[in-house]
């Protein structure tokens, strides 16, 4: 087949013209769809479900690039692969979005009522939700769209109900009155992980309680809570307050009398050693209150407004605070001046409002037994965390987990399947069961924490609780790819629920995934966290539009070491775009020169050293890439492929190929090697940069798609590519060639010779070296002509045992001398260092023989270098006299 019969490729890669079309082709041909009944090993990944409200950001792009690369490689390896997409209903986030929309219409959800509001949210989801799914297509995600799931789907809701019922029956879910994190803006309880602690500059106020002998000073940053104080606590051993313990003192402002209790929780070293106790509004105080049977006095409502009777009633908590302080000051109750105080305060992770600890009746998961199992699965190796260093964080979380508050005072989410009877009966209703009928029965009004359904994701998406073919085939999933930032709250919970729900499968098969592969955060080009407030965020879609999906993916993959953060900037993606273009042009070169992919690998006996060298390197690179894939070393595998493709294939092999393509008897063989080489190279790159590789590969081979081409590593004949193709002799020979060419190029550059200028030269002694066979190539790479009849050398240099004598051209004696003097100094330094080393008896006695040999070799090389360079310097002095005016500089 000849070049003209093939697709003409433009000289620059235009991602926009390729990507959309290819993606739709892949989908249309069903290449992403997993066939659960197909033979062969299975490989599955469930996508960390993005929020319906979300759009694609760099974090997703990183996540998805890694998952897609893993999936694509396995698919090429012949696994039955499933990458399952879907979305999370994102309770609070979504409800907030729709409530804001309603607010614009001057309405609240209460105006609509529950049923209409939920309907409205579904409507919102249908119209504006899930933008991210379309954006995933732009990235090239090879997800199985036929299996797309949503946490509020009928099936997944049934899974939620089922597991709730089981947990309830196993006494692992309970309802209790506890201090929980309350968001006064969202009007709902929050779990610990939905609270972000940030330092806030507060004011520490010291207040004198009681009077006369009873006086005791307490400090607080939340003065308004004193309205709900029901005690003062001191440490039992604190002599300063021994006389007060058990007595009652006067609480300022209200005039109530409250007891002084002795409790070991109090730190006598901190502040005055006395603490005000507000059981209804502080978790510690709640515990103290429980221990001493203190009443809990709620003084704030769900909006954070004071309800305690008196002058402060109706004030917001932040208005009440200074008001209370002012009133105390008036009464002379403020001791000393208030002072600024930096302390960590909890904020609602959804809206940023300061969280209010609040006593209320909520549902909890008893996590202790579940968390223990989740920890054990990692401890005994059923689940591997990668990189292993991060397992410590996992254990820290799992081994010290508080009970999980799962009820939310929201309308959007899975409603708690519990009914309360007129006589206080509590009935948990499982799926398919009829709720109790009759007067007075009512369902719990709350919904479940969004993370409750997310925790079921690895099996609820596969059909659990039914025994489906998908569940049997694809559970446990092969790997979970996510950022270390959500290792705890999501990963740990999937582990707990997976092990619990799937326990019948046996300990090894109940785990939700076999490996957790963690990556870091995407940062900006200066390594700073991306944030909207800093204005340094980058939109992946913008990059995809301007540089292509492949360039975007390659940038992220290339920066991603396991567990490490990725710094990206426009320079990076430009480089990746350039790389794609380089591949484009290299393949284009191969095509223009009639490269062809033969059914069988090239006949080794017919190959030149250059061919054997590049195929040997290809084999080495193939093995490395395979290994890096197994270890999630995306950065390294990209690096290896980048350098192989660019430095070795393009800069050397293609240049060498130009010579052999020009020789009629060698051209066919070279075309064959080029075909083989690019076929393999493109396949190796496909998982990371799917679009450009598919486009080029189909042009090269005439096949439909690279997606189903076998992964290299073993060729069609069952021959292992590494091993068979490795050729150390060819590698050494070509290394020698490259050193020679580089050395002469350096000389030419120093001489100011233009790269294209042809110079007559003699390569004296080349025939006696292994490079003899390459003389033609070497001359071509270096633009050296055969010497004419009247050849007269004006300069010479030695390298690789060859004396290169250059004809009239070389001239810049000063530059050459400077260069040689520098080389001489370096060689002398090296010689000195190695000599000193070899003079040490301790070194000779204790260092391994290989190191000693190596050092001797270095010394010999350095000495030879000194001699050679000295010789050149001397020769320079002689030959420079006569020939300094004919040179390559006349043009510049």
Helices (H) and strands (E) in the chain, counts: 30, 29
Longest CA pairwise span in the chain (Å):
120
Closest-CA residue to 712 (of 702, 700, 723): 723
Residue 471 or residue 809: which is nearer to RNA going by CB? 809
Work out whether 586 is an interface residue with RNA (CB under 7 A): yes
Residue 81, SS3 per DSSP: strand
646 touches 619 (CB < 8 A): no
Q: Applying CB under 7 A, which part among 163-171, 271-279, 535-543, 623-631 lies near RNA?
A: 271-279
Residue 170 or residue 399: which is nearer to RNA going by CB? 399
Report in angstroms how near the CB of residue 763 gets to RNA at its nearest: 18
Distance of CA 708 to the CA centre of its chain: 26
Work out whether 436 is an interface residue with RNA (CB under 7 A): no
Residue 45 or residue 231: which is nearer to RNA going by CB? 231
Nearest-angstrom CA–CA distance, 599 and 545: 38
Residue 221 or residue 705: which is nearer to RNA going by CB? 221
Residue 219 or residue 429: which is nearer to RNA going by CB? 219
Work out whether 754 is an interface residue with RNA (CB under 7 A): yes
Residue 382 or residue 828: which is nearer to RNA going by CB? 828
Work out whether 582 is an interface residue with RNA (CB under 7 A): yes
Work out whether 752 is an interface residue with RNA (CB under 7 A): yes
- Structure tokens of 654? 């293609």
- Structure tokens of 714? 């073993």
CA-to-CA separations, 140 to 24, 546, 560, 689, in angstroms, rounded? 10, 15, 18, 9
Residue window 305-344: x/- pattern of binding to RNA, with contact defined by CB under 7 A: --------------------------------------xx
Nearest-angstrom CA–CA distance, 566 and 684: 23
- Tell me how long the chain is: 892
Among 4, 5, 11, 467, interactor with RNA by CB under 7 A: 11
b/e code 412-435 from CB counts within 10 Å (16+ = b): bbbbbbbbbeeeeeeebbeeeeee
Report in angstroms how near the CB of residue 591 gets to RNA at its nearest: 9
Strand order across the beta sheet in which 257-262 lies: 248-250, 257-262, 231-234, 274-277
Nearest-angstrom CA–CA distance, 641 and 622: 9
Work out whether 854 is an interface residue with RNA (CB under 7 A): yes
Work out whether 870 is an interface residue with RNA (CB under 7 A): no
Among 160, 266, 320, 365, interactor with RNA by CB under 7 A: 266
Work out whether 537 is an interface residue with RNA (CB under 7 A): no
Residues 469-508 that bind RNA (CB under 7 A): 485, 488
- Residue 443 carries which DSSP code? E
Work out whether 779 is an interface residue with RNA (CB under 7 A): no
Given CA atoms 771, 776, 777, 779 in this order, what sign does their dihedral have? positive
Report in angstroms how near the CB of residue 571 gets to RNA at its nearest: 3
Residues 163-192 that bind RNA (CB under 7 A): 192
Work out whether 561 is an interface residue with RNA (CB under 7 A): yes
129 touches 66 (CB < 8 A): no
Q: What is the DSSP secondary-structure string of 293-334?
A: T------B-TTSBB-SSSTTTT-BHHHHHHHHHHHHHHTT-B
Residues 711-750 that bind RNA (CB under 7 A): 742, 745-746, 749-750
Work out whether 592 is an interface residue with RNA (CB under 7 A): yes
Distance of CA 354 to the CA centre of its chain: 30
Report in angstroms how near the CB of residue 13 gets to RNA at its nearest: 5
Work out whether 13 is an interface residue with RNA (CB under 7 A): yes
Q: Applying CB under 7 A, which part among 156-164, 281-289, 290-298, 595-603 lies near RNA?
A: 281-289
Residue 273 or residue 289: which is nearer to RNA going by CB? 273
Q: Applying CB under 7 A, which part among 63-71, 98-106, 246-254, 847-855 lies near RNA?
A: 847-855
**Could you give the angle at the alpha carbon of 181 between the alpha carbons of 179 and 187, nearest 5°?**
115
Work out whether 531 is an interface residue with RNA (CB under 7 A): no
Report in angstroms how near the CB of residue 222 gets to RNA at its nearest: 6
Residue 154 or residue 400: which is nearer to RNA going by CB? 400
Residue 352, SS3 per DSSP: coil
Report in angstroms how near the CB of residue 278 gets to RNA at its nearest: 9
Bridging pattern class, strands 566-567 and 257-262: unpaired
Residues 194-233 that bind RNA (CB under 7 A): 197, 218-222
Report in angstroms how near the CB of residue 399 gets to RNA at its nearest: 10
- Residue 51 carries which DSSP code? B
Among 101, 248, 565, 668, interactor with RNA by CB under 7 A: 565
- Structure tokens of 137? 């297509």
Report in angstroms how near the CB of residue 436 gets to RNA at its nearest: 37
Work out whether 864 is an interface residue with RNA (CB under 7 A): no
Residue 214 or residue 287: which is nearer to RNA going by CB? 287
Residue 442 or residue 757: which is nearer to RNA going by CB? 757
Q: Applying CB under 7 A, which part among 109-117, 455-463, 498-506, 523-531 lies near RNA?
A: 523-531
Label residue 655 exposed, middle or buried (CB < 10 Å: 0-12, 13-18, 19+): middle
Among 851, 860, 864, 874, interactor with RNA by CB under 7 A: 851
Work out whether 846 is an interface residue with RNA (CB under 7 A): yes
708 touches 33 (CB < 8 A): no
Residues 31-50 that bind RNA (CB under 7 A): none
Residue 433 or residue 651: which is nearer to RNA going by CB? 651
Report in angstroms how near the CB of residue 409 gets to RNA at its nearest: 21
Report in angstroms how near the CB of residue 362 gets to RNA at its nearest: 16
54 CB neighbour count, 10 Å cutoff: 18
Among 212, 381, 535, 756, interactor with RNA by CB under 7 A: 756
Residue window 385-404: x/- pattern of binding to RNA, with contact defined by CB under 7 A: ----x--xx--xx--x-x--
Report in angstroms how near the CB of residue 586 gets to RNA at its nearest: 4
- Residue 203 carries which DSSP code? E
Work out whether 525 is an interface residue with RNA (CB under 7 A): yes
**Could you give the angle at the alpha carbon of 145 between the alpha carbons of 141 and 148, nearest 5°?**
110
Residues 630-689 that bind RNA (CB under 7 A): 635-636, 639, 643, 646, 650-651, 654-655, 658
Q: Applying CB under 7 A, which part among 164-172, 670-678, 844-852, 877-885 lies near RNA?
A: 844-852
159 touches 459 (CB < 8 A): yes
Closest-CA residue to 383 (of 256, 501, 480): 480
Q: Applying CB under 7 A, which part among 70-78, 410-418, 441-449, 584-592 lies near RNA?
A: 584-592
Work out whether 887 is an interface residue with RNA (CB under 7 A): no
Q: Is 479 left (phi over 0), alpha (psi -120 to 50) or beta?
A: beta
Among 366, 473, 837, 863, interactor with RNA by CB under 7 A: 837
Residue 142 or residue 191: which is nearer to RNA going by CB? 191
Among 59, 140, 273, 304, interactor with RNA by CB under 7 A: 273
Q: What is the DSSP secondary-structure string of 504-541?
A: GG-HHHHSSEEEEEEE--EE-TTSPBP-TTTT----HH
Report in angstroms how near the CB of residue 513 gets to RNA at its nearest: 21
Taking the CA atoms of residue 362, residue 363, residue 368 and residue 372 in that order, the dihedral angle to the nearest 10 degrees is -130
Report in angstroms how near the CB of residue 859 gets to RNA at its nearest: 11
Residue 162 or residue 338: which is nearer to RNA going by CB? 338
Q: Is 527 left (phi over 0), alpha (psi -120 to 50) or beta?
A: left
Closest-CA residue to 129 (of 229, 189, 54, 213): 54
Closest-CA residue to 669 (of 715, 733, 601): 601
Bridging pattern class, strands 149-150 and 795-799: unpaired
């Amino acid at each position: 087949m000849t070049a003209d019969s093939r697709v003409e490729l433009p000289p620059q890669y235009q991602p926009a013209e390729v990507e959309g079309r290819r993606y739709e082709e892949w989908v249309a041909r069903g290449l992403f769809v997993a066939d659960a009944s197909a033979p062969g090993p299975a490989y599955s990944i469930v996508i960390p479900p993005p929020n319906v409200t979300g759009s694609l950001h760099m974090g997703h792009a990183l996540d998805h690039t890694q998952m897609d690369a893993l999936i694509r490689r396995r698919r090429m390896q012949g696994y039955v692969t499933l990458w399952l997409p879907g979305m999370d209903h994102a309770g609070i986030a979504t409800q907030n979005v729709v409530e804001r929309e309603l607010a614009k219409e001057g309405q609240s959800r209460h105006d609509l009522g529950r049923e209409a509001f939920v309907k409205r949210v579904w409507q919102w989801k249908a119209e504006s939700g899930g933008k991210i799914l379309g954006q995933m297509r732009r990235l090239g995600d090879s997800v199985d769209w036929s299996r797309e799931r949503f946490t509020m789907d009928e099936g997944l809701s049934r899974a939620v109900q089922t597991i709730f019922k089981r947990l309830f029956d196993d006494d692992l879910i309970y309802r209790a009155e506890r201090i929980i994190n309350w968001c006064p803006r969202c009007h709902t309880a929050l779990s610990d992980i939905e609270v972000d602690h940030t330092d806030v500059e507060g004011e520490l106020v010291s207040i004198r309680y009681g009077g006369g002998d009873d006086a005791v000073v307490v400090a607080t940053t939340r003065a308004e809570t004193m309205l709900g104080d029901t005690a003062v606590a001191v440490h039992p051993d604190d002599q300063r307050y021994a006389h007060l313990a058990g007595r009652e003192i006067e609480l300022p402002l209200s005039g109530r009398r409250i007891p002084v209790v002795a409790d070991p929780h109090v730190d006598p070293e901190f502040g005055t050693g006395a603490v005000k106790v507000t059981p209804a509004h502080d978790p510690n105080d709640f515990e103290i209150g429980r221990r001493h049977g203190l009443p809990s006095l709620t003084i704030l409502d769900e909006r954070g407004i004071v309800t305690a009777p008196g002058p402060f009633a109706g004030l917001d908590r932040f208005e009440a605070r200074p008001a209370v302080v002012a009133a105390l000051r008036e009464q002379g109750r403020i001791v000393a001046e208030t002072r600024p105080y930096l302390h960590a305060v909890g904020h609602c992770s959804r809206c940023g409002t300061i969280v209010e600890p609040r006593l209320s009746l909520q549902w909890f998961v008893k996590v202790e037994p579940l968390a223990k199992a989740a920890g054990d699965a990692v401890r005994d190796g059923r689940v591997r965390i990668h990189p292993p260093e991060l397992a410590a964080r996992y254990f820290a979380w799992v081994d010290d987990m508080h009970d999980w508050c799962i009820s939310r005072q929201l309308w959007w989410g899975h409603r708690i399947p519990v009914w309360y009877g007129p006589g206080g009966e509590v009935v948990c209703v499982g799926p398919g069961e009829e709720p109790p009928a009759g007067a007075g029965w009512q369902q719990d009004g709350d919904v479940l924490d969004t993370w409750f359904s997310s925790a079921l994701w690895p099996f609820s998406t596969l059909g659990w609780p039914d025994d489906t073919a998908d569940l049997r085939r694809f559970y446990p999933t092969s790997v979970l790819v996510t950022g270390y930032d959500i290792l705890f709250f999501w990963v740990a919970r999937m582990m707990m629920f997976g092990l619990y729900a799937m326990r019948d499968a046996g300990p090894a098969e109940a785990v939700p995934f076999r490996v957790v592969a963690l990556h870091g955060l995407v940062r900006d080009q200066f390594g700073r966290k991306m944030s909207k407030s800093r204005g340094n965020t980058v939109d992946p879609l913008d990059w995809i539009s301007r540089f292509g999906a492949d360039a975007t993916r390659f940038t992220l993959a290339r920066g991603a070491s396991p567990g490490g953060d990725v710094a990206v900037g426009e320079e990076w993606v430009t480089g990746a775009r350039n790389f794609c273009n380089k591949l484009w042009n290299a393949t284009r070169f191969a095509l223009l020169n009639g490269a062809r992919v033969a059914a069988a690998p090239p006949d080794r006996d017919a190959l030149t050293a250059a061919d054997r060298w590049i195929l040997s390197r290809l084999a080495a690179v193939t093995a490395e890439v395979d290994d890096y894939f197994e270890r999630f070393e995306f950065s390294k595998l990209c690096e290896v492929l980048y350098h192989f493709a660019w430095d070795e294939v393009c800069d050397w092999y293609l240049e060498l190929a130009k010579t052999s393509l020009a020789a009629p008897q060698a051209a066919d063989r070279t075309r064959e090697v080029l075909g083989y080489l690019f076929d393999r190279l493109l396949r190796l790159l496909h998982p990371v940069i799917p679009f450009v590789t598919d486009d080029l590969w189909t042009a090269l081979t005439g096949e439909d798609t690279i997606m189903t081409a076998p992964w290299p590593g073993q060729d069609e004949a069952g021959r292992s590519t590494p091993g068979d193709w490795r050729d150390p002799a060819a590698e050494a020979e070509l290394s020698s060639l490259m050193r020679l060419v580089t050395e002469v190029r350096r000389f030419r550059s120093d001489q100011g010779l233009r790269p294209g200028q042809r110079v007559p030269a003699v390569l004296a002694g080349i025939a006696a070296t292994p490079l003899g066979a390459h003389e033609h190539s070497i001359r071509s790479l270096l633009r050296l002509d055969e010497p004419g009849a009247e050849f007269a050398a004006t300069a010479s240099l030695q390298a690789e045992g060859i004396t290169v004598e250059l004809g009239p051209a070389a001239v810049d004696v000063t530059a050459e001398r400077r260069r040689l003097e520098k080389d001489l100094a370096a060689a002398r330094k090296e010689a000195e260092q190695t000599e000193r080393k070899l003079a040490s008896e301790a070194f000779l006695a204790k260092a391994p023989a290989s190191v000693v040999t190596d050092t001797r070799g270095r010394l010999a090389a350095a000495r030879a270098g000194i001699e050679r360079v000295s010789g050149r310097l001397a020769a320079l002095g002689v030959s420079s006299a006569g020939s300094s005016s004919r040179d390559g500089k006349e043009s510049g």
